[in-house]
Structure 1
Amino acid sequence: MAGLVTTLGTGVVAHAASIKERTSYFAVRGSTLEELDADLQRAGPLVAATGARHPGATEVRFDGSVSYRETSSTCRVGKTDLRLDLNMMLPRWKAPRRVDAETRLVWKTLEDDIRRHEKQHSAIAKTWLKKMESAIRNLRPERDCSAMEARVNQVTKRYLAAHERAQLEFDAKEGREVNRRLQRALVRNLEAMAAR
């Protein structure tokens, strides 16, 4: 359903991790479901990991720095300054005047599902940011700062790999359930429309 882009910058400077979120939109045009589907495939964000365009995507970028405190016999983590940048890319459709109610309803259902899906990608990234920060802060001291830095880098790589696996597992599960999920959402939207 959607794509994910993850990067990490590493550096060497305790406060809570910072998170910056933004949403960008790409235009989708058409007056039929077929035209909208074709335009989503043409205009959707290109995700390098899949080599394909998606109806939505979330760029995830981890960054930050860690400082170290050295004593006469050990070195430990001093402060962590981890950052997470999230950019959710979503479709925006301005319906032409003569679009039937069914097309509008199906689009709303799809658009809501894309937004929900991308918000979950963001939530997964936030969870792993907190886990990684906690793991780094709680590392035992090493004999010197070189060893401590190597340990921090090792833990960072392990947590980024786990984050990536969590994102892929989420996409796999969503892919298996997409038809049932959209069908249920469409039924709910039809019932809500009938009740009005």
Structure 2
Amino acid sequence: MMNPSLLCALMLSITAMPAGAASLVKTYSYFSVGGRTLDDIQNQLSKNGPEVKSTGSRHPGATQMAFTTRISYAQSAGSCRVADAAVTVKVKVILPEWRRPRKADPGVRLFWDTLSADIKRHEERHVEIAKNHARLLEDALKAIPPQKTCEQAKLNAAAVQAAELAMHDQDQVRFDRVESVNFESRILRLMRYRMERVEAGQLPPP
């Protein structure tokens, strides 16, 4: 008989396991932004920002991502099932880095601190959306019912993957659309909040 304390520990460890074990590999890269004024910074972002294929234009930040799926199958008499599925999403977050002049205006510094933090938050949310869908994809693949042949199981897996990645793309586009509508009001609100924290001594002066 298993030791009761050991059994309890095993049950706790199983309960603590996440629903999906999709893997995330994340790296960062930065592009330089120069300039002393707000117009300078805007021009630099438009000139040096990463070009996004879906829009054909340059953006102040971007996240490149790729999904990799590994599926194993188990065949028995008259059926074939998905034995295991593992999904890895590899992302590269591209962010701006301002070469801040020594005598940059405090208002410009405040704007940059606010903007750059918001750009990073935005791109990190793209990463979260991708990881969530990687986990959903992994769970959906594992839930495919047994098929008569492994060829049919592979076809079902391909259909599941295509459907889940399509939903992922839709969620990413929807997020960008919502963010673009609220951009100006959000930046102004964040600037006010950041200034309040500076005045309260919770943040260093810009």
TM-score, normalised on structure 2? 0.86
Structure 1 partner of 2:121: 116
Distance in 1 separating the partners of 2:99 and 2:48: 14
Residue of 111, 114, 132 corresponding to 1:106: 111
Shift of 1:122: 0.3
CA contact (8 A) 2:22 2:131 kept: no
Which one-letter code corresponds to 1:49 in the other structure? Answer: S
Structure 2 partner of 1:184: 189
Structure 2 partner of 1:160: 165
Distance in 1 separating the partners of 2:98 and 2:73: 50
The 3-state SS of whatever aligns with 1:96 is coil
Which one-letter code corresponds to 1:115 in the other structure? Answer: K
What 5-or-longer segments of structure 2 have no aligned partner? 1-19, 202-206
Which one-letter code corresponds to 1:131 in the other structure? Answer: L
The 3-state SS of whatever aligns with 2:148 is coil
Shift of 1:40: 0.4
Give me the CA root mean square deviation: 1.1
Which one-letter code corresponds to 1:154 in the other structure? Answer: A
Distance in 2 separating the partners of 1:39 and 1:100: 17
Which one-letter code corresponds to 2:120 in the other structure? Answer: R
Shift of 1:70: 0.5
Matches within 5 A, 1:1-196: 16-196=21-201
Shift of 1:179: 1.1
TM-score, normalised on structure 1? 0.90
% same residue? 35
Show CA shifts across 1:171-196 (max 9, x none).
00001111111111011112122223
Structure 2 partner of 1:5: none
Distance in 2 separating the partners of 1:32 and 1:136: 51
Which one-letter code corresponds to 1:58 in the other structure? Answer: T
Which one-letter code corresponds to 1:56 in the other structure? Answer: G
CA contact (8 A) 2:72 2:84 kept: yes
Aligned length: 182
What 5-or-longer segments of structure 1 have no aligned partner? 1-14
Which one-letter code corresponds to 1:42 in the other structure? Answer: K
Shift of 1:78: 1.3
Whose radius of gyration is greater, 1 or 2?
2
Q: Which has the bigger relative contact order, CA under 8 A and spacing at least 6?
A: 1
Distance in 2 separating the partners of 1:192 and 1:147: 59
Shift of 1:17: 2.5
Q: Quick check: 75-84 or 169-178, which moved more?
A: 75-84
Show CA shifts across 1:151-190 (max 9, x none).
0000000000000000000000001111111111011112
Shift of 1:144: 0.3
